Amino acid sequence: MNKEELIGKEIKCLDHGFVRLVDVMGDDGSIVQAARVSYGAGTKTVNEDRGLIRYLMRHQHTTPFEMVEFKFHIKLPIFIARQWIRHRTANVNEYSGRYSIMKDDFYLPDTEQIRPQSEINKQGRSEEIFEPEKANSIREQMDKVQNSLYTEYENLLENDLARELARINLPLSNYTEWYWKIDLHNLFHFLRLRIDTHAQYEIRVYGEAMAEIVKQIVPHAWEAFEDYSLNSVNFSKPELAAIRELMEGKKIEDLNLDE
């Protein structure tokens, strides 16, 4: 799918959310052009362009990737937006509950995502699942609370309370929307964290949707990102020393791994 077909295409996320590409500036060629600071197009082969992009990614020459920018329209639950906004290297303009009435859209997790607190990960859910009856009961309770709070919100508006005050009791499951613009270098950083298996499921859904768009716009850059960042690991100095000793024949039980 080419860039023109991707712009405006809406990818559904969760129950009421979406990711939509609004605009994009640049492609793989923009990265190469910035790196070479050249004027002529077609002076190098596609394979040479791919090799240069891989070299840039491998050696962390990040500036050329900043020459490509993506603008998205995103609808997401507020609790995910609060995680998302920690990535401060983007431009954001959000739907305002001061000017507009908040919509009756709330995130309800699927029953398989309604899980107990993890005993290992203090900020995440367990791999274990509840019995279906319990999961359904919790989901119904969440739905009931959401409907009740939105009804109260509507009542406050009907009593002429200012919108900026009426909204304050709405839950974090309420959906918001924003336009989000970011350069490719910082977008890669966002995706490396947010499509990782340790990221919260809900934000991972959005990250994966965006990744599907990005890899079609900049396929060579995406390939390099996968090879040298997303699916790579870094070793500390002691870890490298331990690997070196293992390669030289030292037994693992003789290594000092506590340093």
- Write out the catalytic residue numbers: 194
User: 130 and 116 in contact (C-beta within 8 Å)?
Assistant: yes
Of 175, 172, 196, 177, nearest to 20 (Cα)?
177
User: 97 and 107 in contact (C-beta within 8 Å)?
Assistant: no
Q: In whole angstroms, give the CA distance from residue 76 to residue 106.
A: 9
Q: In whole angstroms, give the CA distance from residue 113 to residue 15.
A: 13
Query: Reduced to 3 DSSP states, what percent helix, strand and coil does the chain have, rounded to the nearest 5?
Result: 50, 15, 35
φ/ψ of residue 101, rounded to 5: -80, 130
How many beta carbons lie within 10 A of that of residue 52, not counting itself?
20
Backbone angle region of 256, left / alpha / beta, with phi > 0 → left and psi within -120 to 50 → alpha = beta
Q: In whole angstroms, give the CA distance from residue 3 to residue 197.
A: 28
Q: In whole angstroms, give the CA distance from residue 199 to residue 150.
A: 29
Rounded to whole angstroms, what are the CA distances from 192 to 48, 62, 138, 195?
Answer: 26, 15, 32, 6
